[in-house]
Chains A and B, each alone.
Chain A
Amino acid sequence: MSQFAAVLSTVFSGEVMLAIAIGTLAGMVIGAMPGLSATMGVALLTPLTYTLSPSAAISMLAAVYTSAIYGGSITACLLHTPGTPASAATAADGYALTKQGQGMKAIGISTVCSMIGGTISAIALLLISEPLSRISLMFTPAEYMLLGLFGLTIIGSLSGDNLLKGLIAGAVGLVIACIGLDGMSGVPRYVFGITRLESGISMVPAMIGMFSISQAMIITEDLFKGKSLIVDDPSSTLKGRVLPTAKEMKRITPTVIKSTIIGIFVGILPAAGGDIGSWVGYNNAKKSSKHPEEFGHGSIEGIAASETANNAVTGGALIPLLTLGIPGSGTAAIMLGSLMIHGMQPGPELFTKQAVQTHGHSRPADFQVCRPRGARTDVHSLPGDRCPFHDRLLRYQQQHFRCLCHGVFRAARLSFPKGEYRFGSGHSGRNTKLHGREKLPANAHSQPRRCTPLYFLPPDRHRPDRHDPSRRFLPVPC
């Protein structure tokens, strides 16, 4: 009870509340601007948090994250231009409702469902982060491949009347996704010598092209035909009841529950974000709806599904970030850096050494999950103690971190000499040949299963001599 009171006093302090209010407003504005995603919002506003306390800073960034995802739905509903990739699934139904003169209804359903999805995912973050983080550890490349195949099946439900054209469009999208460096070999494909294309076509410019520019073209054509208003009926404009009625709430409740679960599940998966969550939620809602024919033509279930799922992703994405130190989305990756800037090391220590700051912006009840067996409940007694769960997490975090670095290492290895180098503990008996100019440091051979380039190590392993070429490889204690 004393921890809970300490957390409440942190959360409801003037500084934290003001930071949350500013973060929410800024996040909504950034999210509503096409081209500025939640990731960019968090990255842009991180420097503004330098002068704040860790609790206020992280609260503000969490507020920016969640409200930016919601803010994207405002322009998606009113202008058919999603402010963030996560709101792309909302655009069709939200804009269809706006054209019918019920724009405020679309905004209202989006707001209510975003709030429900975000709140439930925050409660999940609060109460069941341990089992959820275990699930996220179970995902291997095979499961990711199946998830990708499942994503492709969404084409079937979005193709409308002509499935064949939908499949062709999906395949063209796959070819465009090939632009950039090949993920397996690092060979450039379809880059035409342009360096900027080597990183591929990212989601934000693709979304602007698909939604914003096409909408600008449609509006221009409409204006020349004498249609100066978006709505079909000029007298209706932006009318409509903002809050959904009880009947509408009853209709969308099953969708909201399912989309929340989907959103949390997608959120905990590393590399899957709000855009994937919203499409999976939308697809599921359409398949299970009694009125699938309404989807794409102003279905409130469609808006509810995508908006609930993309906001549920926000809490889910923070679960692997805070418990394992593994970001579940691009925004969570930026927040990982922000946490470190404020002296907080994501992972088990976040619930021991920095428990008050962590729970101040996320979940007070997690003390039950993270408290070591037999340890006292006093927050300040926790540092130094770890439960077996956290020991496993820490080991996994170290291994996963090196896996993430492996791709970068493969690109960097060109600068090393010919020779044999065994990378990481997960590559049993498999050697990686090196080609380059420099000599491989002696300790790399002496510690073949414990070496990682120093500049890829977590900050607590940084050393003053890290720029010394002879010390580029250092042992990583496991």
Chain B
Amino acid sequence: MKKKLHQDIYISVITYIFTAVMFILGRNIKSAARAYPFLILGLITVLNTILLITTIIKSKKMSAEELDAVNTIRWSNIRHAMLTFIIIAAYVVIFDILGYFIATALLLVGMMLLLGVRDWIVLVFIPVGLLAVLYYFFVMKLHVPLM
């Protein structure tokens, strides 16, 4: 069995990328205001380096089977979860363009289709009913602009 990398190594790499991006973006901030975030980013870098070194040392001592058991984050385990995340991210993007009601209706229909709902009555009446109730209570009664 081919030995794979420990999943904490991927986490370390992602954390390094996050730190680097925040550091680059923070260079434009005036010096007094960037001191604190840069201090925290430095702390993250130190902690992340310790995590990376300890993980490499630990994984060298582990067999391929042990590593396979430890690595619970696999694409097959997160595929549909990531699809859900993409749909929610798309909802956030279209929210400003289409407004709350249309965007939410599309999100509900999209999520129901993803989860295997094929009954058109359910697909129509759940978004319409939910949004009608929300409109009645929030817009008409409580005067909250859900736009």
Contact = CB atoms under 8 A, between A and B. Distances in A.
A20 B3 CA distance: 64
B37 A47 contact: no
Contact of A184 (B8, B22, B32, B88): B32
Interface string B77-105: 11111111100100000000000000000
Interface string A157-180: 000000011011001101100100
A220 B82 CA distance: 10
B57 interface: no
Nearest to B32: A185
A145 to B, nearest CB: 13
A190 interface: yes
A224 B116 CA distance: 9
B142 A171 contact: no
Contacts of A168: 15, 44, 47-48, 51
Interface in A201-254: 213, 216-218, 220-221, 223-224
Interface in B1-34: 8, 11, 15, 18, 22, 25-26, 29-30, 32-34
A178 B143 CA distance: 33
A298 to B, nearest CB: 21
A459 to B, nearest CB: 23
Given A216-B88, A220-B81, A221-B80, A190 B26 contact: yes
B30 A172 contact: no
Contacts of A221: 77-81
B40 A217 contact: no
Interface residues of A, number: 28
Interface string B46-83: 01101100100000000000000000000001111111
B132 to A, nearest CB: 17
A160 B116 CA distance: 36
B114 interface: yes
Given A213-B85, A220-B84, A220-B115, A189 B47 contact: no
A404 interface: no
B114 to A, nearest CB: 7
Given A167-B47, A182-B33, A189-B26, A175 B78 contact: no
Contact of B143 (A47, A164, A165, A188): A47
Residue of B11, B44, B114 contacting most chain A CB atoms (<10 Å): B44
A412 interface: no
B44 A175 contact: yes
Given A223-B115, A224-B80, A171 B44 contact: yes
Given A165-B51, A184-B32, A185-B32, A178 B11 contact: no
A213 B51 contact: no
Given A175-B22, A221-B78, A185 B83 contact: no
B144 interface: yes
Residue of B25, B36, B54, B144 contacting most chain A CB atoms (<10 Å): B36
Contacts of B48: 168
A164 B116 CA distance: 40
A187 interface: yes
A44 B15 CA distance: 40
Given A189-B29, A190-B26, A216-B84, A175 B15 contact: no
B54 A164 contact: yes
Interface residues of B, number: 39
Interface in A312-364: none
B131 interface: no
A129 to B, nearest CB: 32
Interface in A354-409: none
Interface in B115-147: 115-116, 142-144
Contacts of A218: 81
A174 B40 contact: yes
Nearest to B144: A44
B80 A187 contact: no
Contact of A172 (B15, B36, B88): B15
B41 interface: yes
Contact of B11 (A44, A165, A223): A165
Nearest to A171: B44
A168 B84 CA distance: 26
Nearest to B42: A171
A256 B13 CA distance: 43
A164 B47 contact: yes
A217 B80 CA distance: 7
Contacts of B113: none
A34 to B, nearest CB: 14
Given A44-B144, A171-B44, A217-B84, 17 more contacts: A47-B143, A164-B47, A168-B44, A171-B47, A172-B44, A175-B37, A175-B41, A178-B36, A182-B36, A185-B30, A185-B32, A187-B30, A187-B33, A188-B29, A190-B37, A217-B82, A220-B81
18 contacts: A44-B142, A164-B47, A164-B50, A165-B8, A167-B47, A171-B47, A172-B15, A174-B40, A175-B37, A178-B40, A182-B32, A187-B29, A188-B29, A189-B26, A192-B25, A217-B82, A221-B79, A221-B80
Interface of B: 8, 11, 15, 18, 22, 25-26, 29-30, 32-34, 36-37, 40-41, 43-44, 47-48, 50-51, 54, 77-85, 88, 114-116, 142-144
Interface of A: 44-45, 47, 164-165, 167-168, 171-172, 174-175, 178, 182, 184-185, 187-190, 192, 213, 216-218, 220-221, 223-224
